[in-house]
Amino acid sequence: MVQSTCPQLATDILDRSFLENRARLLEVAAFLDRIDRSREPEAGRADFRYRACQDALQLLASASGERAKALQLLLSDHSPEPRVSAKGLKGAAGAWKERR
């Protein structure tokens, strides 16, 4: 069991934040549905970012306690050395391509 470190009541947190987070969950569901309905959905499902989303959803459903920390670690680049150059990179991917 997770030790209580938050002075707020759980029901107060739910009252204040449930609708906002419900909307976020619906947005994720719609995102995944769009991939399913797209042309060549298999390519999307094979993409490292899609796999990262699937892993993140499993983590959120099964983990308890420090979900935010676990999610950040799941999506972070764990390379021991920094890149020599960012040449060729188009920006942040939001997930680590070389994981597993």
The answer to whether residues 37 and 43 touch, using CB atoms and an 8 Å cutoff, is no
Average pLDDT, integer, range 14-42: 97
Distance, CA of 48 to CA of 43 (rounded, Å) = 10
Q: What is the pLDDT of residue 40?
A: 96
Q: Does the pLDDT value for residue 34 go beyond 90?
A: yes
Residue 100 scores a pLDDT above 60: no
Residue with tokens 């983990």: 63
Q: Which residues contact 50 (CB under 8 A, 6 or more apart)?
A: 35, 44
**Residue 90: predicted pLDDT:** 64
Least confident of 30-39, 48-57, 76-85, 87-96: 87-96
For the whole model, what pTM was predicted? 0.76
End-to-end CA distance of the chain: 29
